[in-house]
Amino acid sequence: MSHDDILKAAGLTKAEVTGGTLAVHSPIDGAEVAKVRETDPGDMAKIIAKSQEAFKVWRTVPAPRRGELVRLLGEELRAAKDELGAVVTLEAGKITSEGLGEVQEMIDICDFAVGLSRQIYGLTIASERPGHRMMETWHPLGPCAVITAFNFPVAVWSWNTALALVCGDPVIWKPSEKTPLTAMASMKIMERALARFGDAHEGLVQLVIGGPAIGEALVNSKDVPIVSATGSTRMGGIVGPKVSGRWGRPILELGGNNAMIVAPSADIDMAVRGIVFSAVGTAGQRCTTLRRLIAHNSIKDDLVAKLTKAYASLPIGDPRQGMTLVGPLIDHASRDRMQAALEKAKAEGGTVHGGKTVTSGVPQGGAYVEPAIAEMPKQTDTVRTETFAPILYVLGYETLEEAIAIQNDVPQGLSSCIFTLNMREAEAFLSAAGSDCGIANVNIGPSGAEIGGAFGGEKETGGGRESGSDAWKGYMRRQTNTINYSAQLPLAQGVKFDF
Ligand code: NAD
């Protein structure tokens, strides 16, 4: 299918993808596939006001009825899975199976949120006063801005939107300026769900297109109480303090520097499979990509030999081809950053395997690279930095305490894992003195999370949680209620105030 046909199949009209100011390039071949219209910054106040109007109505709709809209969204996503997945591949360069996987994740979170719409539970609490009852009630909070990164151009929006909608909050989405087409195609699907739902207020789910300036309008508005922002720690360092400074609620999902510890008892073949998928999948462009391998000194050389052999057989190329496992980087600037990081790693004493630019057997115009393995003498500044490309730094260790200390000694705290068959090591890794990350796994890589768990990380990863478990609480306000059904007015803590 041509680029144009893919966009057409996803419901985008010629008028929508031409004549605008924002050029969209496919990472597959660098071709300009669209020129989309950007939101006028002058319109942002109107857009936010519309969202506030929608909020006044949506917050009074019973949560199970709000869930019905999300159920319809899930149905429409199922029907459009192939078409939307193809746009993800075209615009973000993901291999076909990962593009479809991303849409599946949207469907999964819709299912989760539909169930949630009947489970927005609060606690009842024993009161110390006779004839009194206490409870917690969860109420909608207000418009939720969703600022997303290029590498999960649609799933992150759905994690936020499915929850926000059942929680009673309207959504304003600002996608990455590199991936507006997937956002526009997702909105087509949302619009079909809204039409079937029938009576949703106008402005319940809106899309704004543009760069940081458009994002900033949401970040700075007191009328947008929740700002869920996914992207680099650089972006989070700007957005987080601004939202907090106006007493808004930031949900930050920022960069990771994810590690795997491989212990002497590990099932090495399984570890190799786990490493290869999590280090080179999505061409190393997942927030949860495996970036640091901390291998016991007794098995390190053997592991590196197995990995370099596995890396040599990886099919690199057009992400639309069924055999391809490593597609392109998002753009040439990203490839340049990868090459610069590898040069720095070498200057710091590292030995690099792979990492070269690939130009033959791949579509011309895209930024294709061999995934790299860099054996490092120690955890240097380059290793501590997230370079958004397939570089796997390898470090050795002697004791588990040392391995955990290396794993935790980076500014980021997103995902982590250990491969071991030793129960004491596994439990120590998961304990309070173990991994300091938001995600810690045993005998499974750091990437490819399911939606059922709360997703997010600590330290410079931002501390936000999205998706499953009780992450929904981030989209609501908690109200503590005390009800006196007695004829007395006793005060708490035995305080007397007689007059
Ligand atoms: P980026 O920080 O360049 O951009 C992310 C989004 O923030 C874009 O929509 C961008 O327009 C917007 N933005 C940038 N500056 C802004 C500002 N001052 N105000 C408001 N909005 C602003 O990130 P990217 O290159 O698109 O994505 C890659 C990064 O995202 C990596 O660091 C990756 O680890 C991270 N990421 C994290 C998660 C997670 O859940 N923790 C998920 C996906 C990606």
pLDDT of residue 275: 98
Closest CA to 366 of 314, 342, 330, 391: 330
pLDDT of residue 57: 98
CA of 299 to the centre of ligand 1 (A): 37
Q: Measured from the CB, is residue 231 less than 6 Å from ligand 1? A: yes
The token pair at 65 is 């009825």
The token pair at 255 is 């960069």
Contact (CB, 8 A) for 434 and 443: no
DSSP state of 420: -
Note if the pTM is more than 0.85: yes
Q: Measured from the CB, is residue 232 less than 6 Å from ligand 1? A: yes
- What is the average per-residue pLDDT within 388-397? 98
CA of 230 to the centre of ligand 1 (A): 5
Closest CA to 251 of 344, 141, 118: 141
DSSP state of 319: T
Q: Measured from the CA of 231, which atom of ligand 1 is nearest?
A: 30
CA of 176 to the centre of ligand 1 (A): 7
Q: Which of 235, 253, 388 gets mutated to test ligand 1 (max ligand atoms within 8 A of its CB)?
A: 235
Phi and psi torsions of 81, nearest 5° = -55, -50
pLDDT band at 228 (very low <50, low <70, confident <90, very high): very high
pLDDT band at 165 (very low <50, low <70, confident <90, very high): very high
CA of 325 to the centre of ligand 1 (A): 24
Shortest-distance Cα residue to atom 30 of ligand 1 = 231
- What is the average per-residue pLDDT within 76-98? 98
% of the chain beyond a pLDDT of 70? 100
Q: What is the largest CA-CA distance in the chain?
A: 90
Whole-number Å distance between alpha carbons of 107 and 16: 26
Shortest-distance Cα residue to atom 26 of ligand 1 = 149
Neighbouring-strand partners of residue 351:
375
> Residues 6 or more apart from 276 whose CB is under 8 A from it?
307, 310, 311, 314
pLDDT of residue 1: 86
Q: Which residue reads 């009074």 in tokens?
A: 60
Q: Measured from the CB, is residue 236 less than 6 Å from ligand 1? A: no
